[in-house]
Amino acid sequence: MIRVLIVDDSALVRNVLTAELSKCRDIEVVGSAVDPYVARDKIVRLRPDVITLDLEMPRMNGLALLAKLMKYYPLPVVVVSSLTPKNSEAAIKALELGAVEVICKPGSASRTSEISRQLIHAVRAAASAQIARQQVTSETSAISSITHPFPFQASNKVLAIGASTGGTQAIESILRDLPPTSPGTLIVQHMPEQFTASFAKRLDQISQMEVREARDSDPVGLGVALVAPGNQHMLLQQSGTGYLVRVKTGPAVNHHRPSVDVLFQSVARSAGSSAVGVLLTEWGPMEQRGSSPCMRRERTRSPRMSRRALSLECPERPSSLGGRRRGSYSRYSAGNCQFPARSKKENPNTSN
């Protein structure tokens, strides 16, 4: 049973989140708090497994509480924030401080049923996360090993990165170390609309590459990283001797939009062995299915991260990896996968 504490100054939001989470047999809402001071006492007394946290509250804001939690009493935190430009900046800061996920509050921007699904997924994923007081050092050392083998100074190469819950800090660690001559990089991070623009801005500040939110028909070029916009799919398409991205609406794939599956399958079709894919965080079977089919797995261990080296052989026949038992995996796992050569029978200009 996952024990959840809801921290929000709005009684309506507390009631909605409690009602939605209580529909799940594996989740128990053990309490709620109207501000960080009340939350502090209830955290000690109730010992929740996961906290949902609003960012704008009286007496102390959510970022201040989060910073104190990560320093003195690390717990998995899911930020539930209003969809505004100001709050999106704060949400990115929350991820930087150690929150494992950001979702939108129920409201006019999103249907309650969709938010409910995202919230339940985020809480379940967060419950299995391992949160430590100091995170960046171990993440950087573990991830850096998957970036060096790539032939960076090659204009016809593509690096595709996919991440879900808890992946933002891992992406930051990778991009911080990539040189400005790195190949064109495509990033899908499951994140709400508008938040991805703030995330891209944050990455651009810490990276030697140029990082921005992708627009339809943007070219994929040396030293540029494109982040898929929230609520839209991003695909790779061959264009002459190079590549461009297509940004499209459409149904969610395995409950995600943007979807890592959509990106990786398009990269496999268009770039084949000229691309390298990196999977970050621990997906469930569905989101892994399209990205990691028919693979050979090798594992090594680090203090906080398991590394998965993947070799793709037959992308047309996806098979599920399955999931590890809850509580048995580290917060991040990363895989480096070389895509197979594109079949000559495939039309490289086909997009979906």
Query: Could you tell me the CA-to-CA distances from 196 to 11, 47, 88, 231, 243 in Å, in that order?
Result: 28, 32, 8, 10, 22
* pLDDT level of residue 203 (50, 70, 90 thresholds): very high
The mean pLDDT of 223-249, rounded to a whole number, is 94
pLDDT of residue 253: 86
Q: Which two tokens stand for residue 233?
A: 């799919």
Q: Where are the beta strands (DSSP E) in 215-345?
A: 219-220, 224-227, 233-239, 242-248, 275-280, 296-301, 305-311, 332-338
- Residue type, position 297, single letter: R
DSSP string spanning 166-226? T-HHHHHHHHHHS-TTPPEEEEEE---TTHHHHHHHHHHHH-SSEEEE--TT-EE-TTEEE
Of residues 188 and 320, which shows the higher confidence score? 188
pLDDT digits 0-9 by tens, 129-157: 767 664 444 434 434 444 444 444 456 88
Bridge partners (DSSP) of residue 51 are 5, 77
Q: Given a cut of 50, is residue 205 above it in pLDDT?
A: yes
Question: What's the rounded Cα separation, in Å, for the pair 23 and 215?
Answer: 38
pLDDT of residue 133: 60
pLDDT of residue 340: 56
pLDDT over 90 percentage in the chain: 42
Number of H helices and E strands in the chain, helices first, is: 10, 16
pLDDT digits 0-9 by tens, 45-97: 999 999 999 998 888 889 999 999 999 999 999 999 876 666 788 888 888 88
DSSP string spanning 275-287? EEEEEES---HHH
pLDDT digits 0-9 by tens, 283-322: 443 344 444 432 223 332 222 222 232 322 223 322 222 2
The mean pLDDT of 261-278, rounded to a whole number, is 91
Query: Could you tell me the CA-to-CA distances from 66 to 70, 96, 303, 344 in Å, in that order?
Result: 6, 10, 23, 52
pLDDT of residue 151: 47
pLDDT of residue 154: 59
The mean pLDDT of 30-53, rounded to a whole number, is 95
* pLDDT level of residue 216 (50, 70, 90 thresholds): very high
Closest of 98, 185, 104 to residue 136, by C-alpha: 98
* pLDDT level of residue 236 (50, 70, 90 thresholds): very high
The mean pLDDT of 249-264, rounded to a whole number, is 88
In the predicted model, what is the mean pLDDT of the chain? Answer: 75
pLDDT of residue 293: 38
The mean pLDDT of 161-187, rounded to a whole number, is 88
Contact between 199 and 168 under an 8 Å Cβ cutoff? The reply is: yes
Q: 164: how many CB neighbours lie within 10 A of its CB?
A: 23
pLDDT of residue 225: 97
What domains does the chain contain, in order, with CATH numbers? 2-127 (3.40.50.2300), 136-338 (3.40.50.180)
- How many Å separate Cα 119 from the centre of its chain? 14
Question: What's the rounded Cα separation, in Å, for the pair 63 and 60?
Answer: 8
Bridge partners (DSSP) of residue 227 are 187, 213
pLDDT of residue 283: 40
Question: What's the rounded Cα separation, in Å, for the pair 318 and 253?
Answer: 14
Bridge partners (DSSP) of residue 159 are 185, 276
DSSP string spanning 53-107? E-S--SSS-HHHHHHHHHHHS---EEEEE-SSHHHHHHHHHHHHHT-SEEEEPSB
